[in-house]
Amino acid sequence: MVAPGYGNINNVILGLANPYAVRLTGSTPDATLLELAVNQSPTFVSLWIGANDVLSYSTSGGSNGALTDQATFDASIDAIVGSLMATGTDGVMANIPYVTDIPFFTTVPHNPIPLDETTANAVNSAYAAYNGGVEQAFAYLVSVNAISQDDADAEIAQRTISFCDVDENGTPCNNPVVIIDEALTDLTAINPALVSMRQATENDLIVILAASFIGTLADPSNPASVNGVAVPLADNWVLTETEIQEVITATDNFNAKLASAAEQADFAFFNANEFWQNLTNGNFSSNNFSPTTGLVVGGLFSLDAVHPTSRGYGIIANEFMKAIDAKYNSNFEASGNLLDIGDYPTNYSPLLQ
């Protein structure tokens, strides 16, 4: 919004700008998007920004740079909202939903691996040295008072890798994938083989792109090099529990700034975060439709697992109009001019079910 040249075709070629913004800049290729908006002397604006400040970090499994720092976010919001206020415009703003609730993170389970008895035994045998090495390394750290016994026991349990073919009830096991977790204690100075890996838990999120990677061979000539089993998934395939909390904390802090800015500008405000949590929990229906956040078939999200379908955007548009009604005493809802989301069909192959 405040970056000069974001719509300059030369910057787009270099991968530094947005190809769609080129359509807006015209004869002023280095103008910021904010400048373009202000130059139109708007009488009403809608502003829903900030999601990308947590999204790109999240979709990369926390491996693509860092979350936008709070000072940079605050300064950008102040510049944007301050410039719009100077025009005397009215408007509506929204905050940021938790991106960790979108299908990009909720479609692939943490435990998608079935194994037969022979394979499970072979994998466990291969990990025996690692499991034993972890115990020995923590025994050493306890002996030199670098860590307490309780903390050592907890991390040993977390890092112990074990696969099964059936559980104690005879039900086939759904084994968790093995992942790299940089938040674990670095033991490689003690033993270079003890990389920071563990099996995923239900508190970790596997990105949807991993669906085509898990189970492939890291080395095509080695059938024992299965990604997610013998070879841990790298950081970019997983948003760990620690990283999830970082995203949630940043979102909460960003949302506090957005709410404050909307109040300062005296704009209408749509709490998209609260609305999306209700929707995620199944507490939403409209025109006899009860959409869910399931990939495609839920009706809200398209195949990229990030952006809504037309029906999803229709639902969002209705919520914006309700917020405008509440602030400006308009009558979108009272006059029957909210959208019928059934007018926006969601089509998909029956094979997806």
User: Using one digit for the tens of pLDDT, what is the confidence trace for 114-134?
Assistant: 999 999 999 999 999 999 999
289/93 Cα distance (integer angstroms): 26
- 81-91 pLDDT tens trace: 999 999 999 99
Do 231 and 156 lie in one domain? The reply is yes
Domain span at 22 = 1-32
CA-nearest of 207, 260, 267, 196 to 238 is: 207
CA-nearest of 35, 46, 41 to 6 is: 35
181/142 Cα distance (integer angstroms): 21
Do 308 and 233 lie in one domain? The reply is no
Do 130 and 230 lie in one domain? The reply is yes
Compute the C-alpha angle 260/279/104, nearest 5°.
90
What would you measure as the largest C-alpha separation in the chain, in angstroms?
74
- 135-181 pLDDT tens trace: 999 999 999 999 999 999 999 999 999 999 999 899 999 999 999 99
Query: Is residue 112, in this structure, part of any structural domain at all?
Result: no
Query: Is residue 110, in this structure, part of any structural domain at all?
Result: no
pLDDT above 80 (res 353) = no
Residue 66 has a pLDDT of: 85
The residue among 238, 267, 298 that closes a domain is 238
Q: Which residue has the tokens 């299908």?
A: 103
Structure tokens at 37: 């908006």
Do 319 and 222 lie in one domain? The reply is no
Do 165 and 233 lie in one domain? The reply is yes
| Amino acid letter, 103 | P
The total number of structural domains that make up the chain: 3
CA distances from 87 to 24, 39, 41, 189 (A): 20, 9, 6, 60
| Amino acid letter, 152 | A
